[in-house]
Structure 1
Amino acid sequence: MLIKECKGFELEKEKSNTSEDFFNRSEVTFIENGEEKTLHVLYVRYFDEILQEFTPYSQDPILADQGLDVTFKDIVALVCLLKNPGLRGRKRLYINSKHDFAAYFQDIDFSKLPEVFQSLKQKNSYELRSPLEFILQPK
């Protein structure tokens, strides 16, 4: 699988009676078997405020190195896809439960994420051989 892009953003109200400003969207675009797909993950914005409960990061941007600024929103869809490769066949995922959200981040090897984003910046893609490379294995 070839990862092409990982990005996230805050939703803004389009109408005064909607609740979009309580949510963030994270997207990962990838190519599998010659077909480009995008997984859109919609989640409660509050989870950004407590990112240290799910990750080793304590602030946003989570990665700021060599001209690379990666926010928590940028990694959510990627982490979901890595943790559950079955999501490759889905276009959208909605997460409003803190428990469900935390489960996606459990056992993720966060030390490998900078490699993905460096490759995306330099080569505009990242070759994902196996999602298992990003899952911490029990010793």
Structure 2
Amino acid sequence: MTFAYEDFEVGSTVQLSGHTFLREEIIEFASRFDPQPFHMSEEGGVASPFGELVASGWHTCSAMMGILVRDRLSGSTSMGSPGLDNIRWIKPVRVNDTVRLSVSVLSKRISASKPDRGLVSTRWEAHNQHGDLVLTVDSSAIFGLREPGKPR
């Protein structure tokens, strides 16, 4: 059965998988998308307030998006997203940190103009292997209804 709008329950939280941030991957991502010194080398990290090489926040967001797609959205009725809000990089993600994602459903509503789909608002929380919160994101996504027009 395809995961659809109807399957989201307001107040529910799902625990998804994680991603380990390896040194080479941190540097490769940074060299392509966020070439700040503290993301590019140990030396740059040591000279920064972080004191060591750290992953770009955008790298962390991208990795969490990959987890969300693989663990939850693949094969769903997802129609994309109108955007993200309140991205917060709370703690740095360091080399060899494993960050796990949880997603909580904040609200949902059927579209008034397109009643075959609905908008689901969620909060992502990413924690490292020590249980420290490293990232939060508020997200909205559009999902098709399994049975449009059925009373809810």
- Is this a same-fold pair by TM over 0.5? no
Q: Which has the higher strand share?
A: 2
Report the TM-score, using the length of structure 1 for normalisation.
0.30
Structure of larger gyration radius: 2
Q: TM-score, normalised by structure 2?
A: 0.28
Greater fraction of residues in helix: 1
